[in-house]
Every structure is written in structure tokens, then in C-alpha cells.
Amino acid sequence: MTCIFQVCAVAAPPQNSVRSIHGLLSPDWVMLETIALAHEVNANQLMKFLAISIILYRSETHLVMAQKIEAKVQYLALSKTSQNLRSATVYQLTLLEEQKILASEQAHMVHVLGDAEAKAVVLKTQTKKLENYSEDLASTAEKLKLQKKVCKYSLCFFIQLVLFTVVVGLFLMQMSPDHAKLVPT
């Protein structure tokens, strides 16, 4: 409080400027002046009182202005935060939609992969069957070759046996004494 009085003593306006202060004051301040005059307060005390009132009014005004500026700053910060949150929400929604699309594509790929695996299993079983058939064909081909060789050798052996019997028969016929006596007629 002493600080305010010291400032008032320094900044106190001269007595003839009481009317110029009236322009700065609201009707409430004018009422205070009227009350002070009614109680016969001298002009110097009134000027000190008015100076203190003006200083308090200015400090309150500065406080209100500071609060107004602070409120504007908070509004700007909140509006910027709100805008950032909106853009982040839009971004998150976009990401969510992209993830849904990727999930559906992955599900489709898993389905296609499952079909491909099933086809691969079928192809493996068919490959094993073909390998078994090819082994059977190979063994059958070998059997046929062996049978051919056996038939060929058997035929050769049979022909040789027939020729051998013919040769032995002719030899025996020539060696036999009855053959010389028989003359054809």
C-alpha cells in the first residue's frame, strides 16, 4: 500500500486537472468524487485518492487485458490442438481403412495360398503315383526284354536242336547198313 501512495505522490496531477480526469473515469468514479466532496475532503487528498484509484483501475485493466491475451493464447493453442487432433484423426482413419484393405488382401492371399498348397499336395500324390507307374513300366520293360531274349534264345536253341536231330538222324541213316541196300526205283 505504501508503494501505491509513493507512486501517487509522484504521479499526482495538479489540482486544476481534476476535470480532465473526469473524462477517464466511469460514472462510478465520478460518484466517488462527489461523495468525497460531500464529506469535505480537500482537493489534494481527493487527487491522491483519484490517482490511487486510477492506478488500481489501470492495474485491473492490465490484469483484464493480460487475462484476455492469455485467453486468446489459450484459444489459439486449443484451436491448433483441435485442428491437429482432427488431422490426426483423419490420418488414423485413413490408416485404419488401409489396414482393413491390407487385411482383406492378406485374407485373399491366404485363401489363394491355401488353394495352391492343396494343389501342391495333389500334385505330389500324382507325382508319386507317376513315379510308381514309371517304375512299374520300367520293370515291365525289363521283363519284356528278358522275355524277348529268352524267346530268342529258346527259338535259337529249338532250331539248333531240330537241326542237330536232323543231322544226327541223317548221320545215323548213312551209317546204317540197310540204307545201302535200298535203291530207289
pLDDT in tens, 116-172: 999 999 999 999 999 999 999 999 999 999 999 999 999 999 999 999 999 999 988
Give the pLDDT band (50/70/90) at residue 60: confident
**What is the pLDDT at residue 109?**
94
Predicted TM-score (pTM) of the model is 0.37
Residue 77, C-alpha cell as written in the block = 493453442
Rounded Cα–Cα distance for residues 68 and 36 (Å): 33
Pure H helices in the chain: 2-11, 18-22, 27-38, 43-175, 178-181
Angle at 16 between CA 10 and CA 20, to 5 degrees: 85
Q: Minimal CA–CA distance to 55: which of 9, 7, 95, 91?
A: 7
Mean pLDDT of the chain: 80
d(CA 182, CA 158): 32
The backbone torsions φ and ψ at residue 146, rounded to the nearest 5 degrees and listed phi first, read -65, -40
Q: How confident is the model at residue 59 (pLDDT cuts 50, 70, 90)?
A: confident
How far apart are alpha carbons 6 and 112 in whole angstroms?
90
pLDDT band for 7, please (50, 70, 90 cuts).
very low
